[in-house]
Amino acid sequence: MPDPTQGMIKLDVVVTDKSGNPVTGLRQQDFTLRDNAQPGKIVSFQAFDGVTAKPDPAVEVILVIDELNIRDVPQQGATQLLAAEREAENFLRQNQGHLGQPVSIYRITKDGLSASAQPSWDGNALADEIAHRTEPQVIWKTPMVSESLGPVAGGGAISWRITHSLIALGSIAIEERRRPGRKLMFWLGNGWQIDGRGGTGLFDFSTELSTRLREARIDLWSATEWPFYDARGNPLPVSTFIYKDFLQGVKPETYDFGYLALHVVATQTGGGVLETGNDLSGLISKRVDEASTFYSLTFDPPRTNVVDEYHALKVEVGKPDLTAHTRTGYFGEPVFYDQTPARIERVTVEQLEHALSTVGSSSDAEVARQLSGMELTERLSTARLATLEATLRGKKARQALVALADESVFLAPPAGEIPSTAPPDAATQRLMMSRAVDYVNKTIPKLPNFFATRTMVQYHQRPPKPGQTWKTAAGDQSLHLDETFKAAMLFRDGKEVVKEEATRGKPLKPGERTLHTVGTFGPLLATVLVGATSAGSDLTWSRWEQGANGPQAVFRYRVPQETPLFAVGFGYLASDDRMVPFEKKARFHGEFAADPASGAILRLTVQADLEARLPLERSNVMVEYGPVVIGGNTYICPARSVSISRVRTIMDIHEWGENFKVYAPFETILSDMAYEKYHLFRSTSRLLPGFTPEP
């Protein structure tokens, strides 16, 4: 799962001395990170020297044999393709084929992209695959890929060879993104250069390619010992190659096809161009031998409201004659952080009541839209909610009102609902706390076994529209009813069980999640009271509140340590594109309202204190309790509860012939639960007439 101790963006940094040799033994304080020339905070730091500290998993080496862009020109008795394959084999068969790093081989042909089955440490076996053209694993065939990079300025289209090479590079990035760890990719071929101006679509392609290469932790090296060629097939010396003109930041309005030249992309990843005349395999070996000597830094990017905002990166080392090499930049996105809904009107309960009193002949949809654009600044009580619901004629408006009220349940009530009674003295506060503890410890365990009906109404935000980007939240983040569940809740021997569940209303859409809360009949109370009264916790007086049957004493609490008694659960995106369930112990805080005479808990809130960078940003529960007659006796049982979570959504992406998942904007999920129809759970028997037992 995402590690909250690490920043959102990871950089692999290689430090070299004046001779180009890797440097070990540096510490975090030796590094300075600059993001758009501004100092950035390094969140986490790891140093690998390849001997005492080795990366796990090991750095992967990727050889890409690009048949599309290798000219079939005789060179020293062999074609360029055969020369490229020879260099790959020479590298793989060194040291009797015992590789120091796992190696993957990709091949790009006019028919598509293929690869070796898995990264392998057996260089001889991989070399044999190349020599004998062993049938590789096909990733995609050319007809399966329909992406186009569009025309260049002034007419004409990008060569199909370049188009498919770029798509293959993106596809390899997605394949490698599914594997953890750093990778060194060596592109065996001439690469490509593109001239002309591009539009927004091409800029989007470029930012996606840069992002996926960064996520895959690929350092790309354009490796060739043959001349570079211009668009007309003429040899172009490396020393005069113009790719260095495109190594700075890029914006949509200044985008040029030159930013997609292989050597530009390679340099931007922290790799570069291997310029050699005759010993390409030797240069690759040198890079690979040094692959496990590097530093990994993580940091959090600054917030932005701009999609694909380019950030130039620079890592500096505070020691003379040392140079840090890493990727040159990244694209910031609004989705890196949760986004506040736009155009939200913050209102008090009184202002809400006034607004609803003036809706007049407005349609149900219009009233619902108005309510969805509001946020309460104070709690709307259950009683006042019921009164307002009765004034609304439309179903959509009532649903929007309930969602608005439910989101307010963790706020303080309006000042007018708080009695002016002076707080009790310290001794009386301790007495009331003691009564609450006794109530939970002595009364709750004596509850009889009983059934109750739970009606759960689930609210979600609207799903993303077709074609919506993953990079920013949709404008409408309002909640809408998606589903209603009815279940028989059994409370037996201090445990609650969902006996059966029926569903009504429209079904949840694919990918949508449900939100369940357990423990409302007692375990949640015990968790809060045990945590709030434990050593190191904070339990203090808050205020009086006026309840339906008299004044209630409200205490606030904070449990600063994680406890196995309270956990939150969510799903997160694993590196191999699976959604994995996760349960995490969490710190929490909240308040409870108790009857000052009996200690009975009448209202309870629990709000999880979650670390930053988790796919779960909010997990809160509120339960209201009230008197219920069961079997002729009166008990205090749950009447209503509200659960709210704010979680990362997951979006399915199709690019470059690949299907994969990405984290998308946060969404709020809300469950409103009502408990009713309580009755005792007990066995019954009756005598059937005409039944004669055997002797």
Cβ contacts of 570 within 8 Å, gap of 6 or more: 581, 582, 584, 614, 615, 616, 619, 645, 647
Mean pLDDT by 10 residues, the chain (695 residues): 85 95 96 96 96 94 90 56 89 93 94 90 94 82 67 55 90 94 93 65 87 97 65 53 63 75 90 79 91 96 94 94 95 92 89 92 92 94 93 92 95 92 94 91 83 90 83 82 85 74 52 60 79 86 90 93 80 82 88 94 93 90 92 89 92 90 92 91 54 47
- Alpha-carbon Rg of the chain, whole angstroms? 32
Cα distance between residue 195 and residue 572, in whole Å: 42
For residues 586 and 561, what is the distance between their CA atoms, to the nearest angstrom? Answer: 8
Q: What is the pLDDT of residue 691?
A: 45
CB-based contacts of 275-279 (< 8 A; 24+ apart in sequence): 275/238, 276/225, 277/225, 278/225, 279/225
280-289 and 80-92 helices, crossing angle to 10° = 40
Domains of the chain: 56-291 (3.40.50.410), 345-407 (no CATH), 418-680 (no CATH)
What pLDDT, on a 0 to 100 scale, did the predictor assign at position 259? 82
- pLDDT given at position 235: 56
In whole angstroms, what is the distance from residue 441 CA to residue 425 CA? 25
User: Considering only CA atoms, which of 130, 137, 108, 116 is closest in space to residue 262?
Assistant: 108
SS3 of 676, please?
Answer: strand
Angle between helices 123-131 and 80-92 (to 10 degrees): 160
Residue type at 71?
A: R
Supply the pTM of this predicted model.
0.86
Please state, in angstroms and rounded to a whole number, the distance separating the CA atoms of residues 548 and 383.
9
Q: What pLDDT, on a 0 to 100 scale, did the predictor assign at position 365?
A: 93
Quickly tell me which residue has 């839209």 as its tokens.
369
| 218 vs 12: CA distance, rounded Å | 9
In eight-state DSSP terms, residue 22 is B
The conformational region for residue 25 under phi > 0 = left, psi -120 to 50 = alpha, else beta, is left
Q: How far apart are CA 111 and CA 142, in angstroms?
A: 5
DSSP 106-151: EEEETTEEEE-SS-EEEHHHHHHHHHTT---EEEEEGGG------B
What tokens appear for 58 in the block? 């090991």
Q: What is the DSSP letter of 30?
A: G
Tokens of 189: 């071929």
